[in-house]
Amino acid sequence: MTDPTVRAATLLKEHRESIDRLDAILVYTLGERFKHTKAVGKLKAEHDLPPSDPAREAKQIKRLEALAAEADLDPEFAKAFLNFIIAEVIQHHKKHQE
């Protein structure tokens, strides 16, 4: 029989290792996402398109809220997260237009 404290420490270590792997996935995924949004920003600047697209942003927020609900993630958190990313992307797009 395993000591409960040892078992808890083992489980904690396993959870933290999974969290570390997931954090790496998030960082690399965001990096890949920003590569594409950077390309979009350049394309918009080259064709004199506005840096933001409110209709697309609203559609994406609704889409992400639905995905969050499916993933058992707080939709308000998902919405706030996407709004943060969108604001960052718009700032990048504006820089391309300067």
Closest of 41, 56, 59 to residue 97, by C-alpha: 41
Q: Please tell me the predicted confidence (pLDDT) of residue 92.
A: 81
Q: Please tell me the predicted confidence (pLDDT) of residue 91.
A: 86
Rounded CA-CA distance 67/78 in Å is 9
Closest of 50, 55, 56 to residue 93, by C-alpha: 50
Greatest mean pLDDT among 21-25, 42-46, 83-87 lies in 21-25
Q: How many CB atoms lie within 10 A of CB 79?
A: 15
What is the pLDDT averaged over residues 4-12? Answer: 95
Rounded CA-CA distance 92/96 in Å is 7
Q: What is the pLDDT of residues 40-76, one digit of tens each?
A: 989 998 999 998 899 998 998 899 889 999 999 999 9
Per the listing, tokens 């918009």 go with 44
Q: Is the pLDDT of residue 97 over 80?
A: no
Q: Please tell me the predicted confidence (pLDDT) of residue 95.
A: 77
